[in-house]
Amino acid sequence: MTWQQTIDEEKEISYEEGKAEKAIEVAENFLKMGVNTPEQISQAIGLPLEQVLQIKENLSVKA
């Protein structure tokens, strides 16, 4: 693997991690606002339903 390939791979990993973090943030915001059901949020932003339900549970514990 070349140096450039390594850099490109690291960029892709960072991009995917950032996308995942943003999706979680959006799910949290939707749940806090009570805008949609967990099922609708899961479908809209592409997170697994189980993950959205876990986020909802975590928000309930913090409240």
pLDDT digits (tens, 9 = 90+) for 19-60: 999 999 999 999 999 989 999 999 999 999 999 999 999 999
Residue carrying structure tokens 């514990």:
61
Give the confidence band of 63 by pLDDT, cuts at 50, 70, 90: low
Q: What is the pTM of this model?
A: 0.80
Residue carrying structure tokens 């943030």:
25
Residue 45 near residue 23 (C-beta atoms within 8 A): yes
What's the whole-number mean pLDDT along residues 11-15? 92
CA distance 53 to 46: 13
Structure tokens at 54: 């876990």
Query: Residue 7 pLDDT more than 70?
Result: yes
pLDDT at 41: 96
